[in-house]
Structure 1
C-alpha cells in the first residue's frame, strides 16, 4: 500500500476490497500504524472507507427487508456511517437515562395530555433539548448520537429521539413527515383510548388524538389547527400529511436532511455520493 508504483497499489486495493467487510478490523489496525507513512495512510483509508460504506449499504438493505423495520436500528446504521467506531450498545445506552427519567414521570393514571406534559418536562426542562436556530443546519445537529451529546438538534432529530422514548414507554407517539422540505417534522399522538368522539375536534383526523410540535417545545396542536396552518402556508392537504409515516419514509427523509446538511457545508460535500447510494435503496 505504500509502493511507489501505482499499478501495484491499485492491485493491492482491488485485492483488499475482494476480501470484503470482514477485514475492516485489520485495516483499522493498519490505519493506526500508518500515520508515519502518509502515502500508505491515504491508500489504507481509501479502502477502509469503501468497505465501511459497503457494510452500511448491506446493513441498510437488511433493515429494509426486515419485518419490524426498527427505527432505532436504522438510525444506528446511518449514524455509524459518520461515526464508524460507534457501537450499538453505546448507541442504545444514550437513550437509557432519558427513558428512565421519563418513566419516573409517567404513570397509567395520567391522561394523554398529562403524559405529553410529563415527557415535555423531562425532554425540554430537565435535559434541556432545544431546536437549533442556525440555518443551514450542521450534520451534527442531525446525527442522533451527536444530538444526544449536545442536546440540540433539528425537528427530525429531536422528534426521532422523543418518539423512540415515548414508544418504549408504550405511549403511542409517531413521526409524521413527507418529502416536502417546507413541511415540518411533527409527532402524532394516536387515539388508542377512543377519546376522539368525546373531544370532537370537528375534523377527520385519521385516528390522531392531537399533534406535538417538537420544534416548539412539545406544543400540543389539535388536528384542525394543523390543517389550517398548512393551508395558510400553501402546504399539501393530502391524507399522508396528517397521519403517522412508515419508518421507511422517515428514514428516507432523515437521509435527505443529512444530504442537505452536507451540501451546505463544503467540508462534507465529498460524502454526497455516498448518501445518494444509500438513498437509492428507497
Structure 2
C-alpha cells in the first residue's frame, strides 16, 4: 500500500464523522491500515470539535494500542507452558483495559497479604490440611473482605486483577487467581480447578475451595453433585488441575463474551490474545 500523505490522512479523519456509516467505516479501515503514518494525526484529532470524530478516533487509537499489546502477549504465549507465569498473564490481560497499571504496586499488595498471613501462621501454628485452609479463608474473605460480586456479576472489572485487588470483588476465576497467587507465595499446595460452570481451587488433592462463595469447602462428592445437578455430567478431567495457560484462556473467554455486544473491537483483540495461547499450545503438542 502506498503511504498516505498528510492531507489524505486528515481528510480521512474528517470522514470518520460522516453521517454515512459505510463512509466512516471505510475511513476507519484505511486509517488502521496506515497506522504508522496516521497515528500522530489521530493523536491530534483527540481534540476534534466533532464528537463523532473524537469517539471514532479514540476507538482507532485503542485498537492500535491493543494490537501493540498483542505483540507482547504473543511473546508471553510462546513460552513453554511450564514457564507461563499466572501473575504476569493476569497483568497483561488487565493492561488491555488499564494501560497504566502499576504492576509493582499490586505485586507489593500481594506480597503484603502473604507476609501478614505467614507471620500469623508462624505465631499461631494452625497445623495442616483443613485448619490451614480455614485460617486462610478467614483471613482472605473475612479480614481482607474479598467477595463474589453477585449484584453485578457481568461487570468486566470483576475480571481484571487490579480491580479485584482494589475493590475486593470478583467472579470465581478472578478471586481464585488472587487466592492462588497468595497461596503460591506461602508455598501452599493450592491449584486451580476449571470445573465446568464454576471455577474452584483445590488444596492438597482432597479439599475443594469455592472462592466465589467466601471459601466454602467442598468434598469431591459435592463437586460431582454440583456437576450432575447443573447438567454437565461427570468426567474425572472436570476436577483435574487447570494449567496456567488454560486459566488465562478461560479468563479471556469471559471477557470476550462480556464485550462481544458492547465493544466488539475489544472482544476481537482479546480473542486474538486467546488464540495466541491456544495456538502456541497446539504447536508444541
What's the TM-score, normalizing by structure 1? 0.77
Counterpart for residue 36 of structure 2: 17
More off after superposition, 112-121 vs 71-80: 112-121
Q: Could you tell me which residue of structure 1 aligns to residue 89 of structure 2?
A: 74
Where do 5+ consecutive residues of structure 2 fail to align?
Answer: 1-5, 16-26, 279-285
Matched, 1:127 2:127: no
**Is 1:60 the counterpart of 2:57 in the alignment?**
no
More helix by share: 2
Shift of 1:237: 1.4
Whole-angstrom CA distance in 2 between matches of 1:156 and 1:222: 19
Per-residue deviation, 1:133: 1.1
Deviates more, 1:154-163 or 1:253-262: 253-262
Which secondary structure does the structure 2 equivalent of 1:160 belong to? helix
Moved more, 168-177 or 228-237: 228-237
Change (3 A) 1:5 1:256: same
| Residue number in structure 2 paired with 1:224 | 221
Q: Which runs of 5+ in 1 are unaligned?
A: 191-207
- The alpha-carbon distance between structure 1 residues 92 and 18, as it changes in their structure 2 partners (threshold 3 A), is farther
**Separation (CA, whole Å) in 1 of partners of 2:60 and 2:169:** 34
Q: 1:38 to 1:62 in 2, by over 3 A?
A: farther
Listed one character per residue, the Cα deviations across residues 197-251 of structure 1 (whole Å, up to 9, x for unaligned) are xxxxxxxxxxx12111112211221212222332233323112211111111111
1:244 is the counterpart of 2:241 = yes
Pairwise mapping of residues 192-231 of structure 1 onto structure 2 (< 5 A)?
Answer: 208-231=205-228
* Structure 2: distance between partners of 1:45 and 1:14: 16
Residues 37-61 of structure 1, C-alpha deviations (whole Å, 9 max, x = no match): 4578668645542332123222222
Structure 1 partner of 2:120: 105
Q: Report SS of the residue matched to 2:96.
A: helix
Superposed CA RMSD in Å reads 3.1
Among residues 161, 165, 171, which one is paired with 1:154 in the alignment? 171
Distance change in 2, residues 1:6/1:155 (3 Å): same
Q: Which has the higher contact order (CA 8 A, sep 6+)?
A: 2
If the length of structure 2 is used for normalisation, what is the TM-score?
Answer: 0.76
- Kept in 2, the 8 Å contact 1:105–1:118? The answer is no
1:234-269 Cα shifts (integer Å, max 9, x gaps)? 323112211111111111110111122224xx6444
Shift of 1:91: 3.4
